[in-house]
Amino acid sequence: MSEPQSGTSLKEVPVKEAIGLRLAHDLTQIIPGQFKGRLFKKGHIVTEADIPRLLDIGKEHIYIMQLGEGDLHEDEAAMRMAAALQGQGTKMTDPHEGKVAIKSDLNVPGLAVIDASLVHAINHLGEIALATLRTHSVVMPGGQLAATRVVPLFVPEEKVAAVEELVDNYRLLHEGRSPVRVRPLRSFRIGLLTTGGEVFSGRIQDKFGPAVRRIVEALGSEIAEQRFSPDDRQIIVKEIHYLLSQQYDMIVVTGGMSVDPDDRTPAAIKEAGASIVSYGTPMLPGSMLLIGYLEGKPIMGLPGCVMHDPYTSFDALLPRILAGDVITREDIVQMGYGGLHGC
């Protein structure tokens, strides 16, 4: 228990003498392998029936708190910080054991937008805890983006005011936008072209299609049509133009993405007229991914790892495209930091 500050006092009372008094903080119960959670909420008035339960969790004394001028209880502090931080597409939870969560308020998957430098600045203040997802993380409906709390049971109000000032300054510099927000993902209709003579001829079963479909559908989009092509550059170009003519929101081409001489997909995508942003990413798995734009529509060439690895460069870039980002060369360059997954 932290020492009182600025006139705040904690009075320790024997449990058996606590009937009729209000708890100063939440009390947690832990039953190994079964339960961990709040047994009594801050402000609960202790009754005679509560005494055995308090003793069962090892509480022979409870604390009654009287806040001094200029101090904030952990719940109020966490709520004020969360209220300052939350932005577009988010909602706050009620305090629970001193923590307030910021969650997605969207009914569709979203993309977290979180300013890392501001998170670091807030945590530098001391006695403040702000934990977040990484920016560009996918957030499902109701999913958590961030959580705020203070480390002691109460803190000087000036600590929370400093957080609010940092956030206000951020908003001034960013056209009123919040440093913690979530952007909805659009629902795309995607045209998929699977290349490879072995699949086109029926010698082996297509495994690319189901893998891509699973990834796409998890983000609220759909594979509107799947086409197949042999390893023939002109046929691949023709099929890409066909998918473009269908007005799909995006085109995905699978297979033939390595540097082998008989892998024709990258050249075919370029010959189809695409402006190539990058062929290759500094991320593993998925370094052989190609991304470009064809008449304003994103087009991607996917490497084989998408079929079997749980997270690749496709998983990293697709949500950003669905959120409306236009991927640039600089975006690709920055994928290397933190870009090693399961290798």
Q: What is the pLDDT of residues 93-102, one digit of tens each?
A: 999 878 999 9
- Report which secondary-structure segment, H or E, holds 77: helix 74-85
Q: What is the pLDDT of residue 80?
A: 98
Contacts with 3 (C-beta within 8 Å, 6 or more apart), sequence order: none
Least confident of 11-20, 85-94, 204-213, 319-328: 11-20
Strands (E), 49-135: 61-66, 71-73, 90-92, 100-104, 110-114, 128-132
Q: Which residues pair with 22 in a beta bridge?
A: 45
The radius of gyration of the chain from alpha carbons, rounded to an integer in Å, stands at 27
Confirm if 321 and 250 have CB atoms less than 8 A apart.
yes
Determine what percent of the chain is predicted with pLDDT higher than 90: 71
268-275: average pLDDT: 96
Does the pLDDT value for residue 13 go beyond 50? yes
Q: Which residue has the tokens 């370029």?
A: 270
- Report which secondary-structure segment, H or E, holds 234: helix 233-245
Which 8-state DSSP code applies to residue 165?
A: H
Q: What is the pLDDT of residue 289?
A: 96
Q: Which of the two residues, 220 and 11, has the higher pLDDT score?
A: 220
Give the CATH fold of the 71-184 domain.
Aspartate Aminotransferase, domain 1 (3.90.1150)
Q: What is the pLDDT of residue 260?
A: 62
Q: What is the pLDDT of residue 69?
A: 81
Domain with CATH 3.40.980.10 in the chain: 189-336
Domain with CATH 3.90.1150 in the chain: 71-184
Confirm if 34 and 61 have CB atoms less than 8 A apart.
no
Q: What would the two tokens of residue 35 be?
A: 């339960």
- The domain 189-336 is placed in CATH, from the list 3.40.50.880, 3.40.190.170, 3.40.50.2000, 3.40.980.10, at 3.40.980.10
The pLDDT confidence band at residue 263, using thresholds 50, 70 and 90, is low
pLDDT digits (tens, 9 = 90+) for 193-204: 999 888 888 889
Dihedral sign for Cα atoms in the order 265, 335, 307, 133: negative
Confirm if 81 and 162 have CB atoms less than 8 A apart.
no
3-state helix, strand, coil in the chain (%, to 5): 30, 30, 40
The pLDDT confidence band at residue 259, using thresholds 50, 70 and 90, is low
Domain with CATH 3.90.105.10 in the chain: 9-66
Q: Is 338 exposed, middle or buried (0-12, 13-18, 19+ CB in 10 A)?
A: exposed
pTM metric for this prediction: 0.84
Determine what percent of the chain is predicted with pLDDT higher than 70: 94
pLDDT digits (tens, 9 = 90+) for 272-309: 999 999 999 999 999 999 999 999 999 999 999 999 99
In CATH, the architecture of 9-66 is Alpha-Beta Complex (3.90)
92-119: average pLDDT: 96
176-187: average pLDDT: 98
Distances from the Cα of 336 to the Cα of 60, 284, 312, 316, angstroms: 54, 8, 12, 12
Does the pLDDT value for residue 155 go beyond 50? yes
Q: Which residues pair with 91 in a beta bridge?
A: 103
Does the pLDDT value for residue 66 go beyond 90? no
Q: What is the pLDDT of residue 4?
A: 44
Which 8-state DSSP code applies to residue 301?
A: E
**Separation between Cα atoms, residue 326 and residue 275, nearest integer Å:** 13
Q: Which of the two residues, 213 and 27, has the higher pLDDT score?
A: 213
